[in-house]
Structure 1
Amino acid sequence: MANHKSAAKKARHDAEARLRNRANRSAMRSTVKSFLAAIAAGDKAKAVSLLPGTLGVVDKACRKGVMHKNAANRAKSRLTLKVNGLA
């Protein structure tokens, strides 16, 4: 329990931020998972159509502070390589 008014406020704000971050991270993971499912199925047309949206969701997670910039760039690169690797 917080002993000061400012510490209590910080705890409230941290709890709200944790929920926001969890929602953003969950949305990103769900989008990437559906994209990877299309890749696993070998459906290049569907994967190519999902790629821009998936990269946008990863960018949004980076902007919101859920991911580090370099981690987001690495993830986007790997997703793009997977699409390009499909026959």
Structure 2
Amino acid sequence: MANTPQSKKRARQNEARYAVNKARRSRIRTFLRKVEEAISSGDQAAASEALRSAQPEIARGVTKGVLHKNTAARKMSRLSSRVKALSA
């Protein structure tokens, strides 16, 4: 348990930051799920639109420190290749 005033404040800050990061992660996952659902439905137009809306959200996750840069790049790359494959 936190004893010093500094450690008590740090615990409060960690709790607040955890809540913000959790909300951001959830939001990113929602956008990713929309892309996945569009891909599984086979609708290329909807999938590309969902991907277009998900990309800035993923990039924002990187700038906010929720996702690693390479993780975000990998997710965007794999999703875009799957969306592109729908047209073939």
TM-score bracket for this pair, using the shorter chain length: over 0.9
Q: CA RMSD in A?
A: 0.8
Structure-2 residue corresponding to 1:10: 10
Extract unaligned runs of 5+ from structure 1.
none
How much does 1:15 deviate? Answer: 0.2
Give the alignment's TM-score, normalised by structure 2: 0.95
**Equivalences for 1:28-43 in 2 at 5 Å?**
28-43=28-43
2:49 counterpart of 1:49: yes
Extract unaligned runs of 5+ from structure 2.
none
Superposed CA offset, 1:20-47 (max 9, x none): 0000000000110011100000000111
Percent identity among equivalent residues?
36
Give the alignment's TM-score, normalised by structure 1: 0.96
